[in-house]
Amino acid sequence: MYIAPKLQRIALRYPRLFQHEPPYMARKLIIFGNGLGMALDPTHFSLDRALAEIWYRPNFLTDIHKQLVERCLQRQGPPAGEHELDTLHQAITYCKALAQIGEGNVHWLTEDGLSFPEITATYIHKVATKLHNYDEGLPQIFENALVEFVKTTRTHIATLNYDKLLYNSFIDNDIFSGYDGYLVDGMLGHGFSSAALERKYDRRFGYYLHLHGSPLFINQGENVLKLSRSQLTVDRDEPSQHIVLTHIKRKPSVIAASNVLSTYWDYLQFALFESEEIILFGYSGLDIHLNMLIRPYLTSKPLRVVEWSGAGEQNARETYWRSLLGRAVIVTRLDNITDFIDW
């Protein structure tokens, strides 16, 4: 099998992926962004709202921890979106580095400084949990069309979101069933294993890739486990290392620091390689690292964007996406993107 140069590193790391020609299926890759949740409940899925609610949560952040965050923001109050998290990310990195320098009882940092990375990671985890725990589901017609399409084609699903809209639907509709499922995410009973993403024994499954992580992922010793849906509440204090909630330019470093997330991004490249079409659904286009990964594949694969009509007029949006992806793509604009069923 011919392996393109950009995939050779992945072929060396995961040789089983490229041992045989993949069975022909009309397999696609659908990448979901926050527009899916915003189409259903823009109040609940507002990141600003979640950041504020956890900030003001009783008996969580101390006044000193809040003041340290506010110094990074250079203003009072909670962060108001990922764009404000750049300096905070740098401060956490510096605290971790200083905490590792030297030995004994003398530290560069105060107790609050030493605990700052962990409490901030816990804050981010609670924010992601708040977004995750949404009581409603997908509209039935939308869900039925997507589930049927995934079962028929084993289409790859990648999500940039922390919610459980797709996750719940795929569990309830038997798309996930361990190694025998239509889609797999590498999570087994004992934790994450990249080997569980390799197709063996003539399996044809697609991949479910949490590109920006999930609040369900927690560290337990050397393993990364996935909580059950009932175990995840905002009362849980979890300093997660597997959530990419930070400034855009810091996201690649968070991904690289997580074995789980970096593996998902490796498999995203394979999903791009073997899919016959790419669909960006409810994605803003703001993640530069994702756009750069997609661009080389557009010389041989069509791409469709499905987005909210309120984002702008047709010509302006086509120009916007051409500037991001380097070539013209099909842009479908809808008043409510959950009306889309033409997968």
CATH number, residue 141 = 3.40.50.1220
pLDDT above 90 for 114: no
Query: Which of 141, 164, 131 lies closest to 51, judged by CA?
Result: 131
Give the C-alpha separation, 29 to 66, whole Å. Answer: 41
Is there a single domain that holds both residue 164 and residue 26?
Answer: yes
Q: What is the mean pLDDT of the chain?
A: 90
Strands (E), 63-181: 156-159
pLDDT above 50 for 2: no
In a domain, 289, yes or no: yes
Strands (E), the chain: 29-32, 156-159, 183-184, 187-188, 191-192, 206-210, 217-220, 223-226, 278-281, 303-308, 330-334
Is there a single domain that holds both residue 187 and residue 209?
Answer: yes
pLDDT above 50 for 200: yes
* The last residue of a domain, from among 132, 151, 173: 132
Instruction: Pull the structure tokens for residue 127.
Output: 């924010």
In a domain, 219, yes or no: no
- Determine the structural domain holding residue 284 and report its residue range: 5-43+137-213+258-339
Mean pLDDT of 258-263: 94
What tens digit of pLDDT does each residue of 275-328 get?
Answer: 999 999 999 999 999 999 999 999 999 999 999 999 999 999 999 999 999 999
What tens digit of pLDDT does each residue of 218-245 get?
Answer: 998 889 999 988 899 999 999 988 999 8
Query: Which of 264, 236, 237 lies closest to 251, judged by CA?
Result: 264
In a domain, 232, yes or no: no
Residue 341 pLDDT class (50, 70, 90 cuts): very high
In a domain, 221, yes or no: no
**CB-based contact 265:255 (threshold 8 Å):** yes
- Angle at the Cα of 260 from the Cα atoms of 258 and 265, rounded to 5 degrees: 95
* The last residue of a domain, from among 90, 109, 132: 132
pLDDT of residue 99: 85
pLDDT of residue 14: 60
- Angle at the Cα of 87 from the Cα atoms of 85 and 88, rounded to 5 degrees: 60
* Helix pair 111-132, 47-55: axis angle to 10 deg: 130
What tens digit of pLDDT does each residue of 54-83 get?
Answer: 999 999 999 999 999 999 899 999 999 888
pLDDT of residue 11: 61
pLDDT of residue 7: 62
Instruction: Pull the structure tokens for residue 236.
Output: 């849980």
Is there a single domain that holds both residue 39 and residue 51?
Answer: no
Is there a single domain that holds both residue 272 and residue 333?
Answer: yes
Is there a single domain that holds both residue 51 and residue 175?
Answer: no
Q: DSSP states of 244-273 as a string?
A: --S-GGGHHHHHHH-HHHHHHHHHHHHHHH
pLDDT of residue 100: 83
Is there a single domain that holds both residue 17 and residue 150?
Answer: yes
Give the C-alpha separation, 163 to 34, whole Å. Answer: 9
Burial class (CB in 10 A: 0-12, 13-18, 19+), 123: buried
In a domain, 307, yes or no: yes
**CB-based contact 97:129 (threshold 8 Å):** no
Is there a single domain that holds both residue 153 and residue 295?
Answer: yes
pLDDT of residue 146: 98
Is there a single domain that holds both residue 182 and residue 98?
Answer: no
Residue 246 pLDDT class (50, 70, 90 cuts): confident
In a domain, 239, yes or no: no
Q: How many CB atoms lie within 10 A of CB 252?
A: 15
Is there a single domain that holds both residue 178 and residue 143?
Answer: yes
Instruction: Pull the structure tokens for residue 43.
Output: 């109040």
Give the C-alpha separation, 175 to 205, whole Å. Answer: 10
* The last residue of a domain, from among 107, 132, 157: 132
Structural domains counted in the chain: 2
Is there a single domain that holds both residue 264 and residue 320?
Answer: yes
In a domain, 235, yes or no: no
Give the C-alpha separation, 71 to 19, whole Å. Answer: 53
In a domain, 334, yes or no: yes
What tens digit of pLDDT does each residue of 122-175 get?
Answer: 999 999 999 999 999 999 999 999 999 999 999 999 999 999 999 999 999 999
- Burial code (b: 16+ CB inside 10 Å, e: under 16) for 310-323 equals eeeeeeebbebbee
Is there a single domain that holds both residue 99 and residue 85?
Answer: yes
> How do beta strands 303-308 and 330-334 pair?
parallel
Is there a single domain that holds both residue 198 and residue 64?
Answer: no
